[in-house]
Amino acid sequence: MALPTQTHLEAARSGTPACTRRRFIRLVPMGAALWLPVAHGKPKLAAPPDPSTFAHLNERDPHAKAVGYVEDVARVDRRVYPKFTAGSTCDNCALYRVPAQAWSECTLFPRKLVAAKGWCDAYVRRSPSQPT
Ligand code: SF4
């Protein structure tokens, strides 16, 4: 049997239970058990938005107009955008997210879909080594 420590003697004199290491070790799991339901009740992070629910980018959107976006590359005004070259379309632009799709996200227009056969003045040809 262990001899009483100074802590035990002081606790006995004051009438309060001693805060010993053994008592502390017993209380820690109980405290954790009390916090468990609270931790499970924490709100979870929202799921990322589903791109298939995004609206098509409107050509009249001020940001789209600023870069001359058109849904159909045949309507590019070559006098206004002389850097346009035949064969340049959104689906071979580095900013087009999924080239295999008719409509996809573009880095320039978050949460909007642009047409694969579209074009804008921010066009950058996709590198053949760029992952899709
Ligand atoms: Fe299309 Fe590229 Fe312009 Fe986006 S940046 S609208 S993908 S041409």
Residue of 65, 73, 75, 90 with the most ligand 1 atoms within 8 Å of its CB, for mutation: 90
Query: Cα 3 to the chain's mean position, in Å?
Result: 60
Could you tell me the distance, in angstroms and rounded to a whole number, from the CA of residue 47 to the centre of ligand 1?
26
Q: Which atom of ligand 1 is nearest to the CA of 89?
A: 8
Q: What is the pTM (predicted TM-score) of this model?
A: 0.67
Secondary element (H or E) of residue 31: helix 21-40
Three-point CA angle 60, 66, 72, nearest 5° = 55
Q: Beta-strand (E) ranges in 18-121? A: 55-56, 103-106, 109-115
The answer, yes or no, to whether residue 18 has pLDDT greater than 90, is no
**What whole-number distance in Å separates Cα of residue 5 and Cα of residue 53?**
69
Give the rounded percent of residues in the chain with a pLDDT score beyond 70: 70
Tell me the mean pLDDT in the region 44-56.
91
Over residues 82-128, the pLDDT tens digits come to 999 999 999 999 999 999 999 999 999 999 999 999 999 999 999 98
Q: Among candidates 73, 85, 118, which has minimal Cα distance to 99?
A: 118
Give the max Cα distance, the chain: 98
Atom of ligand 1 nearest to the CA of 88: 8
Other CB atoms within 10 A of residue 108 CB: 18
